[in-house]
Amino acid sequence: MFRLAGHLKMTVRELSERMDSRELSEWRAYTRYYEALPDSWEETGLLASLLAIPYSQRGKCPRGSDFVPLAKPPQHEAQAAEVVKELAKQLGLLGQ
């Protein structure tokens, strides 16, 4: 509901007041089988992974989902720093 509300430029409360369950079900079916709602995180992650290809070692290019911070559970600062360091290694920006 949050993504649909954002797509329609309204709050979730406004959406629930203006849309019944039948229409919501129709939206769910439409976005599942015909056209997904835009997801700027996924689009940006895909673009970032494509831009990383020339700088990556063969077979070690990061996936688009690697650049989507909301897809991963919260991490401690030290864990986040380790992830960034590992990504830099994969891209060949740091020595092995």
User: Residues 49, 79: one domain?
Assistant: yes
Does residue 80 form part of some domain? yes
* pLDDT value at 71 more than 60: no
Distance between CA atoms of residues 3 and 10, nearest Å: 10
Does residue 95 form part of some domain? no
* pLDDT value at 32 more than 70: yes
Give pLDDT, residue 72: 59
Q: Is 45 exposed, middle or buried (0-12, 13-18, 19+ CB in 10 A)?
A: buried
User: Residues 52, 85: one domain?
Assistant: yes
User: Residues 51, 24: one domain?
Assistant: no
Distances (CA, A) of 65 to 16, 18, 20, 38, 62: 30, 34, 33, 15, 8
Q: How confident is the model over 56-81, as a mean pLDDT?
A: 78
Q: In which region does residue 39 sit, left (phi positive, over 0), alpha (psi from -120 to 50) or beta (all else)?
A: beta
Q: Using 50, 70 and 90 to split pLDDT, how confident is the model at 96?
A: low
More confident residue, 87 or 12: 12
Does residue 96 form part of some domain? no
Question: Domain range spanning residue 59?
Answer: 41-90
Give pLDDT, residue 74: 62
HSE-CB at 45 with a 13 A cutoff on CA atoms is 15
